[in-house]
Amino acid sequence: CGVGDNRWLATLGARLARFERPDAPAAFHVLPREALRDLPLTLLPADAATRQRFTLFGLTRMSQLADLPRSAVGAQFGPVGERHQALARGHDPRPIVPRRRPERVEASVTFETPLDGIGAGSLTLRRMAAELCDRFRDRHLAPGRATLTLVLEDAPALRVAQPFPQPALEPDWIARLLLSRVEAAARGRLLRKQELAHEEATEIRVAALTLAFDRLSDPTTHQIPAFEARAGRWEELRWSLERIRHRFGEGRLWRAVNDRPNAALPEHRSRLVDIGP
């Protein structure tokens, strides 16, 4: 662990930290700005070519680079040398921003009597999604991915993950997308079971639901390019297409391409192209 007045000093302090005793739980080092002068220049985050040039000019210590005029360093090494000189003096213009741990919020429901079929849990799934969305709305956050896990009574659990094209706080659509994904996964599992065992598959019974949201971000941070009227609408259109594709299945979305507007026959003027994922 390193402690300093800025990011550079704290990072370098962590590199120089040493355990005081073998059974110590962690290494701790405080690096003041004055302690940089006697450290070697090899600790700077410089590439091999810059380090060779420092050696060529006889610069081996932080104090030697820090005491030079800034104009002379800029003339010999350019902006890169000026940044390294600032670090050698103990200055780091980068702001100190606290790291944000990846957050994952989930809600679970256990049924005393298992539900008959996946569709029976749609209202519960919608309620769970609404509760999580309300919680994020108060914090001005929105999830970028939803994960649904179904604990089945006599079968392995089903788990589907649905990433969103953009952060979303729409519980109805989130629940429908997840429900369609898990129904498709359940149908595929039943078909494989029938093909392998050559027997009629039993109805799926759901014992518990777990809904998790992660990849949180601010839903308002959406930059629209200037002077491109349609550019800002593409994310909304793609999000709507994702909803429709997962709701009704593959091969249902088409777009018209007007290749030959001057063709004699109307059917030769345009054609339909499948909109893939």
Q: Which residues in the chain belong to E strands, given as ranges?
A: 2-3, 29-30, 105-116, 145-152, 158-163, 205-214, 254-257, 271-274
Q: In the numeric block, which tokens belong to residue 105?
A: 């919020």
Instruction: Please give the residue that has the higher pLDDT: either 164 or 252.
Output: 164
Residue, of 155 and 58, whose pLDDT is higher: 58
**pLDDT reading at 121 higher than 60:** yes
- Position 28 confidence tier, pLDDT thresholds 50, 70, 90: confident
State the virtual CA torsion across 190, 194, 200, 201 in degrees, nearest 10.
-30
**Do the first three CATH levels of 2-88 and 105-222 match, i.e. the same topology?**
no
- pLDDT tens-digit profile of 189-217? 877 776 666 555 567 889 999 999 998 88
Sorted by sequence, the CB contacts under 8 Å of residue 114 that are 6+ apart come out as 153, 205, 206, 207
Q: What's the pLDDT band for 223 if we cut at 50, 70, 90?
A: very low
Instruction: Say what percent of the chain tops pLDDT 90.
Output: 28
pLDDT tens track for 59-88? 999 999 999 999 999 999 999 999 999 999
Mean pLDDT of the chain, nearest integer: 82
pLDDT higher for 191 or 161?
A: 161
Confidence of residue 239 (pLDDT cuts 50, 70, 90): low
The domain ranges of the chain are: 2-88, 105-222
CA angle 43, 49, 52 (to 5 degrees): 70
**Domain 2-88 CATH (choose: 2.40.160.150, 3.40.50.740, 1.10.150.20, 1.20.1440.230):** 1.10.150.20
CA dist 89 → 8, 27, 93 (Å): 11, 25, 12
Q: How many CB atoms lie within 10 A of CB 266?
A: 7
Tallying the residues shown for the chain, one arrives at: 277
Of 3.90.1150.10, 1.10.3720.10, 3.20.20.80, 3.30.1490.100, the CATH number of 105-222 is 3.30.1490.100
